[in-house]
């Protein structure tokens, strides 16, 4: 829903009937209308046909949205899961903040510029739908996970439960504990894709022991874009007296997320991916109930942007993060998720009927995200990525082959180009 704390001169973006949509209603709501995106002329309402009979195209002006970004002319950028492009207005916000700070580095750096950076915490809390005293601005997901792990003070014999689908940045902190302090790590093997959310929960439950202190999982896996049922895993963690730490690098900005509803203890994300913020910005949510358990040095002096234990950070980047949150909020979290999933399903269906292609990502539903991973017979992921790169198409190489992302600046033409290019490569 549009955040009630955000104020703007812009028109309301979502009709009341669409503000309460959930991911479970995706196929039923795929064609709901939208209003204006910005006063700069991004008007949503471009009439085009859908990619398949029976599927309605969201009213979305792709060309106007693309103009908000400075992507290279002709580039088909489908690797938002690694790094997202920054809207032009975000670059302007960061640049202006930097120039202002350098007029009087100490005076402004610990005055107006710092005040602007600190104000971004409230925007971030509103965006993730939590309280101000539960949010910390961090450089990235990895440093957030490290801070949480360092604050839990695990000891020899304790165990951490995770999966075989985690990003190295989300588990390296636990591997450090394993190497230095004798903490054990158990990994549930997740099928690609699993049959149901219940299967995922059951696989995790089967690995829990009386020594398990932490469950650490990705919200959306970097390997296949699988969405894990975090709220259900939270119930499992609570019933076994475990802390639930979530690597949310691939979540916010792509999906309509309310961290309170997830009910996890900690949630770390990189804003420079789907939130389209400056590189080196991220967020860490720590549920109030878990705050006393996460006794991290980084958080000793509170969650403010600048503290004695945080040191001086990149304030212009943080201010840019605030501008990116404004941009995403203007459009609306449900609208962005809807459009990204619409393109994702278009791509999924085309790959589904293509010989020599194996899809490792879930079909449409609650386990699907705007990330699709495919393997191509007779070619490695590196082969495919290199060949596509020569055609100005950017995708990600992952263990299963290639991961392809769809976000708000992508359109049907992008999907057609990447699918057609892969089809030609396979002959």
pLDDT at 177 over 50: yes
Does the residue 100 lie in any domain? Answer: yes
Q: Work out the average pLDDT over 147-167.
A: 97
* CB atoms near residue 221 (< 10 Å): 30
| 72-99 residue pLDDT tens | 999 999 999 999 999 999 999 999 999 9
Q: Is the peptide bond before 144 cis (omega within 30 degrees of 0)?
A: no
pLDDT at residue 34 in the model: 35
Give me the pLDDT at residue 4, please: 26
Taking residues 232-242, report their average pLDDT: 98
Q: Are strands 282-286 and 266-270 parallel, antiparallel or unpaired?
A: antiparallel
Q: Which of 151-165, 279-293, 299-313 has the lowest mean pLDDT?
A: 299-313
pLDDT at 44 over 70: no
Dihedral (CA of 144, 180, 167, 396) sign: positive
pLDDT of residue 62: 85
Phi, psi of 86 (to 5 degrees): -95, 130
Query: Where residue 237 falls among pLDDT bands split at 50, 70, 90?
Result: very high
In this prediction, residue 53 has a pLDDT band, given cuts at 50, 70 and 90, of low
Helix (H, G, I), strand (E, B) or coil at 300: coil
Helix axes 333-352, 315-331, angle to 10 degrees: 80
Residue 78 maps to a domain: no
Q: What is the rounded CA–CA span in Å between residue 280 and residue 190?
A: 30
Q: Which of 3-17, 51-65, 143-157, 229-243 has the lowest mean pLDDT?
A: 3-17
Domain count, the chain: 1
Measured between alpha carbons, how far is 304 from 352 in angstroms, rounded to an integer?
Answer: 48
CA distances from 319 to 88, 315, 361 (A): 14, 6, 35
Interatomic CA distance for residues 375 and 427, integer angstroms: 15
CA–CA separation, 182 vs 179, rounded Å?
6
pLDDT tens digit string along 325-384?
999 999 999 999 999 999 999 999 999 999 999 999 999 999 999 999 999 999 999 999
**How does DSSP assign 158-224, residue by residue?**
-EEEEETT--HHHHHHHHHHHHHH--EEEEEPPPSS-S-HHHHHHHHHTT--TTEEEEEEESB-TTT
pLDDT for 309 equals 83
Contact (CB, 8 A) for 165 and 224: yes
Q: Rounded to whole angstroms, how far apart are CA atoms 341 and 325? A: 20
Nearest-5° Cα angle at 243, 242 to 245: 135
N-to-C CA span, the chain: 45
Output the CA angle 13-414-325, nearest 5 degrees. Answer: 35
Residue 142 CA to residue 146 CA, distance in Å, equals 6
Side-chain half-sphere CA neighbours of 9 within 13 A: 2
Find the domain containing 286 and state its range: 93-328
Residue 107 belongs to domain with CATH number: 3.40.640.10
Average pLDDT of the chain? 89
257 falls within a domain: yes
Tell me, yes or no, whether 355 lies in a domain: no
Residue 282, classed as helix, strand or coil, is strand
In a domain, 22, yes or no: no
Q: Which tokens go with 414?
A: 């992008």
Q: How does 103-117 read in b/e, with b if 16+ C-beta sit within 10 Å?
A: eeeeebbeeebbebb
CB atoms within 10 A of CB 47: 7
pLDDT number for residue 49: 62
In a domain, 172, yes or no: yes
Q: Is residue 132 part of a domain?
A: yes
CA separation for the pair 130, 264 (Å, rounded): 12
Q: Classify residue 75: in a domain, yes or no.
A: no
User: Which residue is it, tokens 């609306």?
Assistant: 332
Query: Of 225 and 20, which is predicted with more confidence?
Result: 225
Q: What is the mean pLDDT of residues 126-151?
A: 97
């Amino acid at each position: 829903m549009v955040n009630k704390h955000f104020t703007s001169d812009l028109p309301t973006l979502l009709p009341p009937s669409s503000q309460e949509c959930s991911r479970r209603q995706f196929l039923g709501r795929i064609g709901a209308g939208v209003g204006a995106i910005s006063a700069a002329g991004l008007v949503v309402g471009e009439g085009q046909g859908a990619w398949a009979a029976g599927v309605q195209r969201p009213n979305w002006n792709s060309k106007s949205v693309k103009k908000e970004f400075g992507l290279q002319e002709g580039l088909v950028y489908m690797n938002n899961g690694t790094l997202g492009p920054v809207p032009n207005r975000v670059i302007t916000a960061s640049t202006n903040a930097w120039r202002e700070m350098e007029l009087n580095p100490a005076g402004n750096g610990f005055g107006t510029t710092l005040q602007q950076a600190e104000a971004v915490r409230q925007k971030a809390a509103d965006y993730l739908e939590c309280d101000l005293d539960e949010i910390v601005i961090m450089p990235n997901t990895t440093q957030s996970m490290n801070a949480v792990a360092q604050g839990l003070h695990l000891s020899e014999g304790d165990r951490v439960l995770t999966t075989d689908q985690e990003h190295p940045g989300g588990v390296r902190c636990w591997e450090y504990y394993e190497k230095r302090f004798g903490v054990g790590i158990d990994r549930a093997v997740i099928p690609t894709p699993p049959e149901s959310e219940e299967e995922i929960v059951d696989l995790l439950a089967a690995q829990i022991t009386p020594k398990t202190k932490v469950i650490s999982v990705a919200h959306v896996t970097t390997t296949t874009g699988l969405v894990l049922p975090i709220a259900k895993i939270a119930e499992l963690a609570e019933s076994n007296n475990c802390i639930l730490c979530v690597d949310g690098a691939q979540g916010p900005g792509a999906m309509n997320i309310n961290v309170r509803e997830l009910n996890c203890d900690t949630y770390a994300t990189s804003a420079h991916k789907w939130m389209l913020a400056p590189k080196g910005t991220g967020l860490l949510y720590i549920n109030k109930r878990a705050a006393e358990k996460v006794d991290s040095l980084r958080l000793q002096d509170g969650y403010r942007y600048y503290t004695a234990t945080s040191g001086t950070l990149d304030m212009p980047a943080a201010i840019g993060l605030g501008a990116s949150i404004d941009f995403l909020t203007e459009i609306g979290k449900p609208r962005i998720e809807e459009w990204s999933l619409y393109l994702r399903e278009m791509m999924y269906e085309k790959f589904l009927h293509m010989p020599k292609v194996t899809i490792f990502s879930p079909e449409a539903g609650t386990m699907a995200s705007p990330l699709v991973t495919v393997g191509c017979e007779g070619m490695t992921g590196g082969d495919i990525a290199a060949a596509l790169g020569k055609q100005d198409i950017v995708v990600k190489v992952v263990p299963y082959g290639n991961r392809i992302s769809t976000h708000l600046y992508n359109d049907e033409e992008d999907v057609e180009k990447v699918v057609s290019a892969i089809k030609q490569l396979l002959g």
